[in-house]
């Protein structure tokens, strides 16, 4: 079984506040795959988000999906490896703006029928979470059962782009109301945090792309917008 240290990495992200078409053109970014639908799960008070928990469903090719539990503010070095099943879990250092948090991600892949049943309400979210996801919510985060009223929000249509040098990805998310969110990201080792951010800032500055003044994570802003 993989140990937490074998599954660590770092992702640095910068929010961009320019029109999506301008970002793509200015950075000469190329589409990476087709757009996908992404759903989030929370209640009206965003109880899960307030506890540092995100539940996200990415619908992939053929109607299949990936259901991911992300829990922020975890200690990657002290994490018990037994709760991270091989190929299902990882612990990463996520940096957004100048801040950094350690995040555990546990993913379960769903077939097309389970995906369809979940989105249609024929199956509840609690029924499709994996044993390790349930165990982490219950034993580590102290959130089980899920709060009443937790339901799906979305979908967002997400298109991933990549810069010509292959060093940076650009995520552009379009919400049902037409709002768009964009961010540029890069991955590397934990020790590379400052270098990665400087590289990305240099790239967007040279391209004349505006960086958002608020560099807190866009995740909660998207959830609030999805509730409208």
Count of alpha carbons within 13 Å of 13, Cβ hemisphere only?
A: 21
pLDDT of 172 higher than 90: yes
pLDDT in tens, 114-155: 999 999 999 999 999 999 899 999 999 999 999 999 999 999
Q: What is the pLDDT of residue 8?
A: 53
Exposure pattern of 177-208 as b/e (b: 16+ CB <10 Å)?
eeeebbbbbbeeeeeebeebbeebeebbeebe
Q: Which domain holds residue 98?
A: 4-226
Please state, in angstroms and as integers, the Cα–Cα distance from residue 195 to each residue in 94, 127, 183, 201, following that order: 14, 43, 17, 10
The first and second tokens of residue 207, run together, are 């391209």
Looking only at the bridges linking them, the beta strands covering 89-96 and 10-16 are parallel
User: Does residue 56 contact residue 189 with C-beta atoms inside 8 Å?
Assistant: no
Instruction: Read off the CATH number of the domain in which 41 is found.
Output: 2.40.320.10
Structural domains of the chain, count: 1
CB-based contacts of 86: which residues, under 8 Å, 6+ apart? 1, 2
pLDDT of 187 higher than 80: yes
**Lookup result for tokens 């990665």:** 196
* More confident of the two residues 84 and 48: 48
d(CA 3, CA 5): 5
* More confident of the two residues 217 and 49: 49
pLDDT in tens, 89-105: 888 888 876 677 889 99
Per-residue pLDDT, averaged over 6-26, amounts to: 85
**What band does 35 get if pLDDT is binned at 50, 70 and 90?**
very high
What is the DSSP code (8-state) at residue 226?
H
**What band does 84 get if pLDDT is binned at 50, 70 and 90?**
low
Determine the 3-state secondary structure of 112 from DSSP: helix
pLDDT of 6 higher than 50: no
């Amino acid at each position: 079984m993989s140990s937490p240290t074998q599954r660590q990495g770092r992702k640095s992200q910068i929010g961009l506040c320019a029109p999506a078409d301008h970002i793509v053109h200015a950075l000469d970014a190329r589409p990476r795959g087709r757009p996908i639908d992404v759903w989030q799960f929370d209640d009206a008070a965003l109880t899960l988000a307030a506890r540092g928990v995100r539940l996200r469903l990415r619908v992939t090719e053929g109607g299949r999906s990936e259901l991911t539990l992300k829990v922020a503010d975890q200690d990657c070095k002290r994490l018990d490896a037994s709760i991270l099943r091989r190929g299902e879990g990882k612990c990463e250092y996520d940096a957004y703006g100048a801040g950094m948090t350690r995040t555990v991600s546990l993913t379960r892949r769903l077939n097309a029928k389970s995906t369809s049943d979940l989105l249609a309400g024929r199956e509840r979210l609690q029924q499709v979470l994996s044993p390790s996801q349930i165990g982490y919510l219950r034993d580590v985060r102290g959130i089980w059962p899920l709060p009443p009223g937790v339901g799906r929000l979305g979908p967002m249509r997400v298109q991933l782009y990549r810069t010509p040098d292959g060093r940076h990805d650009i995520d552009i998310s379009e919400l049902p109301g037409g709002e768009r969110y964009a961010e540029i990201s890069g991955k590397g080792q934990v020790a590379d945090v400052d270098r990665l951010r400087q590289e990305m800032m240099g790239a967007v500055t040279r391209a004349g792309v505006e960086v958002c003044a608020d560099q807190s994570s866009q995740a909660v802003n998207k959830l609030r917008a999805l509730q409208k």
